[in-house]
Structure 1
């Protein structure tokens, strides 16, 4: 039952933390900037990969491919930060 309850609450519980309004703004802004940077990096890496592959520059294409994987990983870690932000206020009372 605890897992189902945790899965249904998607956003962080800012009510358990003092100065919740300021914390909500900071976390929301960081998550937004993180996702925007990850998407921007992915677009640039994919474009560079395509141009480098078509022109025969295999070393640049390999670096752009690594950039794509880093961008996808960055987006995944940014999404995981929301789960971590949910978990920290929940674990606090149990310490």
Structure 2
């Protein structure tokens, strides 16, 4: 019994790249908008002395930055796996 990789299994890689790219665009747009809103709220809350809201807005800004970083890393990981799959 011969065991070998299925070379046709990554046939739709161009479609998958397009879908992943579109999802990255949406995630990055939402992350940037969230970062902008959080930064504005952070600045206003800090200047008015509302420390609880400033803390929540600061956390929102860090979460937006983390989401953008994870989205970029996810796309890089998918592209790496597709390139490896095409070379098998």
Q: Normalising by structure 2, report the TM-score.
A: 0.78
Gaps (5+ residues) in structure 2?
1-8
Gaps (5+ residues) in structure 1?
1-15
| CA RMSD after TM alignment | 1.9
Local SS of the residue matching 2:11 = coil
Q: 2: CA distance between counterparts of 1:37 and 1:82?
A: 16
Q: 1: CA distance between counterparts of 2:40 and 2:50?
A: 13
Aligned residues: 79
Indicate the residue corresponding to 1:89 in structure 2: 82
- Once the two structures are superposed, residues 58-94 of structure 1 have per-residue CA deviations (whole angstroms, 9 ceiling, x without a partner) of 0000000000100111111011012211222244466
Local SS of the residue matching 2:36 = helix
Range with bigger deviation, 22-31 or 48-57: 22-31
- Structure with more helix by fraction: 1
Q: 2: CA distance between counterparts of 1:32 and 1:90?
A: 21
1:24 equivalent in alignment to 2:17: yes
Q: How does 1:66-81 map to 2 (within 5 A)?
A: 66-81=59-74
* Runs of 4+ displaced beyond 3 Å: 90-94
